[in-house]
Structure 1
Amino acid sequence: MDAIRRKAAARQLAPGDRLPSIRRYAAVMKVSPSTVVEAYDRLAAEGLIRARPGSGFYLTGHGLPPLSLTRPATSRAVDPFWVSRQSLDADADALKPGCGWLPADWMPNEALRRGLRNLARGEEEVLADYGSTRGSLPLRRLLLGRFGEEGLQLSSEQLLLTSSGTQAVDLVCRFLLQPGDTVLVDDPCYFNFRALLRAHQLRLLSVPYTATGPGIAAFEALVSAERPRLYITNSALHNPTGASLSPQSAYRLLSIATAYDMTIVEDDIFADFEPDPSPRLAVLDGLDRVIRVGSFSKTLSASVRCGYIAARPDWIEGLVDLQIATSFGGPSPLAAGLIADILAGGGYRKHMEEVRRRLAAARRTVAPRLEALGIRPWLMPRGGFYLWCRLPQGADPAELSRLALTEGVVLAPGNVFSVAQTAGEFMRFNVAQMHEPRIYDVLDRALRALRQAEPAGSGAATLVSGASG
């Protein structure tokens, strides 16, 4: 392929010229004819040459245009899309303590490879056909068994597989809400909840989140006054704070939701990171007015997207129709089959035990290193990979993130998680992505730069005293 490209670049071959025959070129290059066939086919796929049946291959003079990765604008507003785009489009060597996933080498990659080989040897329909409307039966059966272990007894009519956890939330919003409806979220909350709900043109309200769940008095006052149609939350290992719902808070939330006819969407994506299960709204409610959604992108692979919705049977029926209308069927049979293959063995349990152990060690290591910089965790979570941290007094998280980005470090400033913009002194850190010493050096330099840029009279002494408060 390189030899043909060089001839074209040197004008030894002009557009319209016929390439040497396969056998002749195989002799010239001292390779097998099948190698030349493969090279010609690849060049034809690029558009550099074209096959004429019965005549041979001819140079077109075109070929693939140069392509480079488009970088997100660093000057754009630091909003919910900022962290996502910086994290997803970062250079391969960028450090991403602000991203929301585990490093690739923490994932069960050998199990994924084995699962792919098993699928490749399996039925051709899995490789070529659309998925069924409710999704893979083996995976749904495994999920029903997992739910049953925690006390949530469901029928198959109460479970729908989706293309991702994000799509699950999107379908629920499409199904239950109209533009202008009011939705309640936590403050802070997962930043893509904010982005997705804004895209649906919904009215967002937020309730302050505490170490045991949303502040109950504020929650009831808001629900009573504003009558939101929906409340979206993480019960376990809340994103971004890492807090988990207490039994008392769970009971009060369900009582308030019942009194004011409000539906709750419980995003349970971090459930398997908990060392011991905390209260689940879906289990306590029995899926009467709670909808559970989740996925496997955090625990298995973000490349193999598959989520689920567990809800009342009549709602699942409507959601099935909506998924057909928007994506013609359920998730990829390949994705669902691969996840089912891994969940069916004992390897997944062992994988998660190892991940929980590594995360516990990472939290113990990362928290003191951040505290040495004056960055203090709001609480120490029971599990998961997030630390929600208060920055030194006067340090602007958005400006800190911009400075760190110039050195190839992607951070997650607090206000991207806050509807009310009340998290202006916080930042979320992913402990699994913080093993590189350079991250702490960059944070130290950026914090020093922010202190030096402060107006006279509010210098480093103020920052130090504020950080200890």
Structure 2
Amino acid sequence: MDRRLQTRTEEVMEAIRAKVAARQLAPGDRLPSIRRYAAAMKVSPSTVVEAYDRLAAEGLIRARSGSGFYLTGHGLPPLDLARSTVPRAVDPFWVSRQSLDAESDTLKPGCGWLPADWMPNEALRRGLRTLARGDDGVLADYGSTRGSLPLRRLLLGRFGEEGLQVSPEQLLLTNSGTQAVDLVCRFLLQPGDTVLVDDPCYFNFRALLRAHRLRLLSVPYTPGGPDIAAFETVVSAERPRLYITNSALHNPTGASLSPQTAYRVLSIAAAHDMAIVEDDIFADFEPEPSSRLAILDGLDRVIRIGSFSKTLSASVRCGYVAARPDWVEGLVDLQIATCFGGPSPLAAGLIADILAGGGYRKHMEEVRRRLAQARRTAAQRLEALGIRPWLMPRGGFYLWCRVPEGIDPAELSHLALDEGVVLAPGNVFSVAQTAGDFMRFNVAQMGEPRIYDVLERALRALRQG
């Protein structure tokens, strides 16, 4: 649909919603005829038809054959009631809930994705137009059990360039990276099993593992990977079934695994029969590849997962799992049981179209260049406020920073949220709650000077007590 026409349709819908909210329309009332309302709104009849059809799909109105459209009584709540007013605890869901539900003018230096205008949007539009002209099955059918063959072939080629030899039987496409972790947990674990994570680690690892009723243990993370002495002690004593980590540009610290640590992690895992999930979602942000557990292990006990939400689009969801053939076979069955097939052919086809062209490499080169500049600028401006990076990452968009002494990141986050700025306090990433002096900042989301003004005012308020 033409963007102008779509906007006019939405205007008609909002006008009707406003009448409902103002009680100018009551349950059972008949809406104006299509032609009469089109004349009143100065739009085409087809625009009113589209608006009425969409409101009927929402349940606000219903059509009566030969009679017109009537208000159902299931009116929309006022907009201020549509959002939760319950104060949110600073827990692993804090950043996700505040970022995903934020108003359009909210600033989100605590979120975990690139701004929309950093993404290859024109390439996405071209790909969508190409798919729309193609086979009807792409638009209407379920995905196959292992996912799009063209996309899997492209991934196999990319893995081969890294030195990871993967057969077609070792690769499964999923609906997202999060779903990939979920499937692995369902396949390998039972409620009550012990899982090891980094401290700090990606907050949604914590949330998802808790949802599976698993026992979480953590190991301190260093600039070169997990503290190997602590890692060996925990694994030997507690015998976790699984370890989940980011090797490259670790979330939230931005650190990368050293070769020596990678070797020791694999040796300890083998000695204690522990599987490893290596989330490689940030791989393409590295200027040069760092050590990878999956490559060193050859996908024996390491499972590699990833997705394209950080590099291409969070709206076009598609992830993958690369693992042993027998494990993938079990994961295929689980994906059928829980999702009835692989990812949307539309999503997989769109990603394959972009990866197959030369534009993706150029896009990532430009993103890496912009991130390098944004990292330097953000670090300088944060340091001027007394907020200091733990390290300067090789790439990616995260800075893991220590706040000034005496400042509680959770309180700082609440004050900033009152001014429309979403932050990510450190303890949402920490199982052991040892990151109370830290915050994670997304440098790609920090171009707006107001962020630093809000931080400065909040810090001043907390110092003054």
Match of 1:277 in 2: 289
SS of the equivalent of 1:186 reads strand
**Structure 1 Cα separation of the partners of residues 88 and 24 of structure 2:** 44
Contact 1:168 1:308 in 2 (8 A): yes
Which residue, 249, 268, 277 being the options, matches 1:237?
Answer: 249
Contact 2:34 2:45 in 1 (8 A): no
The normalised TM-score by structure 2 is 0.91
The normalised TM-score by structure 1 is 0.90
Q: Percent identity?
A: 82
**Structure 2 Cα separation of the partners of residues 30 and 364 of structure 1:** 51
**Structure 2 Cα separation of the partners of residues 48 and 164 of structure 1:** 32
1:254/1:45 Cα in 2 relative to 1: closer, same or farther (>3 Å)? closer
Which 5+ residue runs of structure 1 have no aligned equivalent? Answer: 454-469
Match of 2:7 in 1: none
Contact 1:136 1:333 in 2 (8 A): yes
Q: Spell out, residue by residue over 1:30-71, the C-alpha distance to the aligned partner (whole angstroms, 9 max, x if none).
A: 876656655654565566765444x34254564742453743
The reply on whether 1:336 has 2:356 as its aligned counterpart is: no
**Structure 2 Cα separation of the partners of residues 287 and 10 of structure 1:** 62
Contact 1:390 1:426 in 2 (8 A): yes
SS of the equivalent of 2:196 reads strand
The reply on whether 1:68 has 2:75 as its aligned counterpart is: no
SS of the equivalent of 1:388 reads strand
1:325/1:27 Cα in 2 relative to 1: closer, same or farther (>3 Å)? closer
Q: Spell out, residue by residue over 1:400-443, the C-alpha distance to the aligned partner (whole angstroms, 9 max, x if none).
A: 11111111111101111111111110110000011111111111
Contact 2:131 2:346 in 1 (8 A): yes
Q: CA deviation at 1:15?
A: 4.8
Which residue, 188, 205, 212 being the options, matches 2:224?
Answer: 212
1:232/1:60 Cα in 2 relative to 1: closer, same or farther (>3 Å)? closer
SS of the equivalent of 2:378 reads helix
Letter of the structure 2 residue corresponding to residue 110 of structure 1: E
1:7/1:149 Cα in 2 relative to 1: closer, same or farther (>3 Å)? closer
Which 5+ residue runs of structure 2 have no aligned equivalent? Answer: 1-11
The reply on whether 1:196 has 2:200 as its aligned counterpart is: no
Match of 2:368 in 1: 356
The reply on whether 1:103 has 2:115 as its aligned counterpart is: yes
**Structure 2 Cα separation of the partners of residues 155 and 251 of structure 1:** 24
Match of 1:373 in 2: 385
Match of 1:93 in 2: 105
Which residue, 142, 159, 162 being the options, matches 1:150?
Answer: 162
Aligned-residue CA RMSD (Å): 2.6
Match of 1:428 in 2: 440
**Structure 2 Cα separation of the partners of residues 396 and 13 of structure 1:** 50
**Structure 1 Cα separation of the partners of residues 381 and 287 of structure 2:** 24
Which residue, 124, 149, 168 being the options, matches 2:136?
Answer: 124
Match of 1:312 in 2: 324
Match of 2:333 in 1: 321
The reply on whether 1:392 has 2:404 as its aligned counterpart is: yes
1:446/1:36 Cα in 2 relative to 1: closer, same or farther (>3 Å)? closer
**Structure 2 Cα separation of the partners of residues 398 and 158 of structure 1:** 43
**Structure 1 Cα separation of the partners of residues 27 and 335 of structure 2:** 51
Contact 2:13 2:52 in 1 (8 A): no
Q: CA deviation at 1:75?
A: 2.8
Match of 1:456 in 2: none
1:105/1:229 Cα in 2 relative to 1: closer, same or farther (>3 Å)? same
How many pairs were matched up? 451
Match of 1:261 in 2: 273
Match of 1:78 in 2: 90
Letter of the structure 1 residue corresponding to residue 464 of structure 2: Q
Letter of the structure 2 residue corresponding to residue 232 of structure 1: I
The reply on whether 1:227 has 2:239 as its aligned counterpart is: yes
Structure 1 segments, 4+ long, off by >3 Å, are: 1-22, 24-53, 58-64, 69-74
Match of 1:460 in 2: none
The reply on whether 1:57 has 2:71 as its aligned counterpart is: no
**Structure 1 Cα separation of the partners of residues 161 and 399 of structure 2:** 29
